[in-house]
Structure 1
């Protein structure tokens, strides 16, 4: 029998993975140099965003229930310095961060969802901490996608319904879900 907690966790995992896939699909369209393009002096590159997400994910999700989500060894400010690594290394960091998140979420039980955890010593119910990150990560994935679109312009391959094709898509969905 599915409990509300189980349904919630399944939904959260599905939503997080939807955003991971948008990042993955963006990365496949980009060349290595594109990861380092910053739209302006005060803007972050995709490489910096990946580095920040990696640091955040490892800090927040490692020992989620037992340690503060802001680990002592994390240097958040350094995450916003341009990294000196390859596209392959950036993808490794991306995957490692998401793996840490998914392993933690998949390990949680109904009872865990109402436990109090801390982030920067601020007490939060686990559900709230999860929701907080469910707002944070899509924000950064949206930045990644937008920078990718900016770089590729007319060569961008849509990650969802291409412009002008909503009616065709809706018709397809009606056909798919008849019955």
Structure 2
């Protein structure tokens, strides 16, 4: 029996987005307390700003879908102040971790409740209709982009002390050999 494409897609996007979150978790764990509010350039985003923005977007886009899809759901909540998400605040690392976790909980919970038939439903974002599939793909690109910004920011701040979150340089052959051994 074959698995319908929509089932495969939802399974894959759930796994991949948990991987994106894990990448962000690994980078944020390497920040020192005083570095959360450090940008690499004037006008650049700090990790704190990126975390605040991602969480704000996740709550706005996906909060209405946490229990599953319902027609007429708006993907931009009226109370969201997107511009405020880009203002440097004074939240502590623990507060920022809670903001990060809260946003991801909303997004991943919404993904977990979507059914294959929901992917063709309509979700409106700022008055623009999207299929749920389009909205997911939009956010996969958006969230991945910001998480990679966090990785670059933290890697730059850590310098030689950076702990890689993927295959270390010079480690590809050993990694491939381990994968091959696991799949025998």
Q: TM-score if structure 2 supplies the norm length?
A: 0.93
Quick check: 1:150 aligned with 2:156?
Answer: yes
What is the match of residue 94 of structure 2? Answer: 88
Q: In the TM superposition, what whole-angstrom CA distance separates every residue of 1:52-102 from its partner, at most 9, and x where no partner exists?
A: 001000000011444321111000000000021100010000000000011
What is the match of residue 62 of structure 2? Answer: 61
Q: Which residue, 112, 126, 132 being the options, matches 1:106?
A: 112
Secondary structure, aligned partner of 2:60: helix
What is the match of residue 145 of structure 2? Answer: 139
> What's the C-alpha RMSD, in Å, of the aligned pairs?
1.2
What is the match of residue 17 of structure 1? Answer: 18
Structure 2 unaligned segments of length 5 or more: list them: none
Q: In the TM superposition, what whole-angstrom CA distance separates every residue of 1:117-171 from its partner, at most 9, and x where no partner exists?
A: 1100101111010011011001000000011100110000000011111111111
Secondary structure, aligned partner of 1:62: helix
Secondary structure, aligned partner of 2:75: coil
Between 116-125 and 28-37, the greater mean CA deviation after superposition: 28-37
For 1:36-47, what aligned pairs fall within 5 Å after superposition?
36-47=37-48
Between 90-99 and 104-113, the greater mean CA deviation after superposition: 104-113
Structure 1 unaligned segments of length 5 or more: list them: none
Q: Distance in 1 between matches of 2:176 and 2:158?
A: 27
Q: Distance in 2 between matches of 1:77 and 1:87?
A: 21
Contact 1:116–1:123 (8 Å) recurs in 2 = yes
Q: TM-score if structure 1 supplies the norm length?
A: 0.95
Q: Distance in 2 between matches of 1:50 and 1:116?
A: 27
